[in-house]
Amino acid sequence: MIETLLQAIMEQVDLPKKDIEHNLRALLNEAVTKMDLVSKDEIERQKTALNNANIRLDELLKHVENLEAQLKNK
C-alpha cells in the first residue's frame, strides 16, 4: 500500500515537470519558426551563385571594354 502511494506521489511530481518541458519545447519551436533562418546549404548555394555572377560580370566588362576600344580605333 505504501508502495502504491509512493508511486502515485512520484507520478504527480513528474506531471508538472513534463508539462513544463512540453510547454517550453512548444514555445521554443514557435520562436524558431518565426525566425528568418537559412540553412548552411542555402548559404553555400547563394555564395556559389554570387561567385558565378561576379565571374560573368567580369567577362562582360572585359567584352564591353574590348568593344569600346574597337570603336575608338575606327
- Tens digit of each residue's pLDDT, the chain (74 residues): 778 877 877 777 776 777 878 888 888 888 888 888 889 999 999 999 999 999 999 999 999 999 999 999 98
Same domain, 46 and 33: no
CB atoms within 10 A of CB 22: 10
Residue 49's pLDDT is what? Answer: 98
Same domain, 45 and 32: no
pTM of the model: 0.52
Q: Which domain does 44 fall in, by range?
A: 38-74
Same domain, 13 and 32: yes
Residue 31's pLDDT is what? Answer: 84
Residue 48's pLDDT is what? Answer: 98
* Residue 48 to residue 61: CA distance in whole angstroms: 20
Same domain, 51 and 33: no
Structural domains of the chain, count: 2
